[in-house]
Amino acid sequence: MTAAAAALAAGAGRGARRTALLLAAAQAIIGSAAPIAISLGALAGQYLLGPDKSLATAPVTGFNIGVALGALPAAAIIRQLGQRGGFMTGTVITALGGVVATLALFHPNFWLFAFGLLVIGVGGAFVQQFRFAAADNAPPEFKARAISFVLAGGIVTAVLGPQIVIFTRESFAPVMFAGSFASILVLSAVGAVILSFLRIAPKAVGGAAIDDGDARPLSEIVTQPRFVAALFCAVGS
């Protein structure tokens, strides 16, 4: 390897590390909306319902449905706007969901609250793409570590989200849990600042540099046994 090639490789490695660390930080912050929604969804649902509490867990179901419904649109938006623009869009969606859920608690409306959690779930579908972006922007020898950085951000999320719930659930008392969902707006704002520092390589931005000539149709992918097995494992988990 020539000196120029070595310098280029070193620069690519530093850029990939920076991108992975930024995405890990964004995962830790924006991803905290998920444990907030999951841990409080049923409790807030019970709080909003009348004597019949049978639908209390519907908001949590709405969150999970939102993640599922948002997967393909998230990928399409990221492809169209590029990774940075797509992730910013997802952050705005997450913030919007937090606002809707908070308003639903102040003006007690169970189904509006469930819709707010569905919107938060759609935003969560964008967060699921962070690890792939880290890998896309890393040289082959750094891909595994880049993914591990982002997954480590998820561990922080698992701690940070519940702690936010503990310290904010009574912030707007007597309206319980409103503070926790309002905090999603703050988390989204901080996450947007972090994402603004992303410098994605041109090859990974938008759809201009993507060759669809050898792309397989979705119908072919979903009929593969490996895809079906992976899908059932994901649903079962």
Per-residue model confidence (pLDDT) at position 236: 60
**Whole-number Å distance between alpha carbons of 82 and 31:** 20
Read off the pTM.
Answer: 0.83
Q: What is the CATH number of the domain that holds 25?
A: 1.20.1250.20
Domain span at residue 136 reads 10-203
pLDDT of residue 50: 83
- Amino acid 128: pLDDT: 93
pLDDT digits (tens, 9 = 90+) for 39-55: 999 999 999 998 888 99
Domain assignment of residue 102, yes or no: yes
Give first-to-last CA distance, the chain, whole Å.
45
Q: Is 79 part of a structural domain of the chain?
A: yes
230 occurs within a structural domain: no
How does pLDDT run across 140-185, given as a tens digit for each residue?
Answer: 888 989 999 999 999 999 999 999 999 999 999 999 999 999 999 9
- Whether residue 193 is predicted with pLDDT greater than 50 in this model: the reply is yes
Round to whole Å and give the CA distance between 13 and 49. 53
- Predicted pLDDT at 213: 54
Q: Find the length of the chain.
A: 237
Please report whether residue 165 resides in a domain.
yes
Residue 4 included in any domain: no
Q: Would you say residue 177 lies in a domain?
A: yes
What is the number of alpha carbons within 13 Å of residue 203 lying toward its C-beta? Answer: 6
CB 184 within 8 A of CB 98: yes
- The predicted pLDDT at position 179 comes to 95
Torsion region of 88: left, alpha or beta (phi above 0 gives left; psi -120 to 50 gives alpha): alpha
Number of domains in the chain: 1
Residue 221 lies in a domain: no
